Amino acid sequence: MADRPTARTDRFPAASRRERGFALVAVIWTLGLITLLGMAVIVGARYRTKTSSNYASVAAAEMAAESAVNLAIATALAATPDQAINFPLRCRLPGGERATIMVEEETGKIDLNTASTSALTRLFTALTGDQSKGSRIAAEIVEFRKPKTQATPAAGPAQARFTTVMQLDQIDGVSPRLFRAALRHVTVRSGRPEPEIEAASPAMLRLLNVEPKPASARRGLPVSGSMTIRADISAADGTRFIREALISLDGGNGRPFVIREWRRGDIDPRQERPQGAARACLRLGDAPAS
């Protein structure tokens, strides 16, 4: 009689142990899922914060680059003959960004509308490293730039096909990578069959394997014609942004200049980041830069 309670208590011992085991496993899995979800939320929040910070840094660098371009224009137009501004100009913007401002004259580039076939071939052979490919692209450009209609007294002179360098991506054989590499070295505003070596940028001279003359190492702004102002900005957090503006001097209707195009420039891997510039880009009167 004394053993009956014990028999009733242990009637289903194996089932109870299995239920307790399943419950423990379920609790462990639940805790694991909650932990994973928490980690995912934390990582996602950090990623979104970092992405937002990167966007803000790029936007700030872009604004600084546009300000540097406008500063270069204003400085050049306001400079007197005895206070000529030489370029490249390296200075520090009010936000602490380091700026290198360069002037690239359009006469020192390859004109897509007027360049000779040999000049086009040299450029694209240098960019692609392939003589036959360079020749094919040059032939495609010459064919593309032919006017759609012939000049007539009634219609006036025939218009060239290239109205902007951005049309270069319509040429067969010009890949996106080649397009970006060539963009800095071509123009539609030179009107020359060959680039003017004295006006060519250091990047163009390196591409054509031409030694620059010492006198052309630093140049001021041209007094007429078109040019590209290139502002290379390096922020304190490492963000880098390059903005280019195509400028035509003596824009007509009493305007001293006209901005024809704004472009985002590619970073040349062979070109170093703008390094610490002691002088400030903006100075009041003759006060020394801090």
Place 236 in a pLDDT band, splitting at 50, 70 and 90. Answer: confident
Element (H or E) spanning 204, and its range?
Answer: helix 202-208
Provide the number of structural domains found in the chain: 1
Is 69 part of a structural domain of the chain? yes
Is 131 part of a structural domain of the chain? yes
Mean pLDDT for 245-255 is 80
Q: What is the pLDDT of residue 178?
A: 95
Q: What percent of the chain has pLDDT over 70?
A: 72
The dihedral over CA atoms of 217, 246, 78, 287, expressed in degrees to the nearest 10, equals -70
Are 276 and 282 a contacting pair, CB within 8 Å?
Answer: no
Tell me how far CA of residue 103 lies from CA of 65, 69, 198, in angstroms. 14, 10, 13
Mean pLDDT for 255-262 is 88
Is 133 part of a structural domain of the chain? yes
For 84-103, what is each residue's pLDDT tens digit? 567 788 889 988 899 999 88
Is 7 part of a structural domain of the chain? no
Whether 65 has a pLDDT exceeding 70, the answer reads: yes
Element (H or E) spanning 282, and its range?
Answer: none
Domain that holds residue 219: 59-264
Is 285 part of a structural domain of the chain? no
Is 5 part of a structural domain of the chain? no
Is 46 part of a structural domain of the chain? no
Instruction: Name the least confident of 118-122, 217-221, 270-274.
Output: 217-221
Are 195 and 119 a contacting pair, CB within 8 Å?
Answer: yes
Q: What is the pLDDT of residue 286?
A: 42
Is 6 part of a structural domain of the chain? no
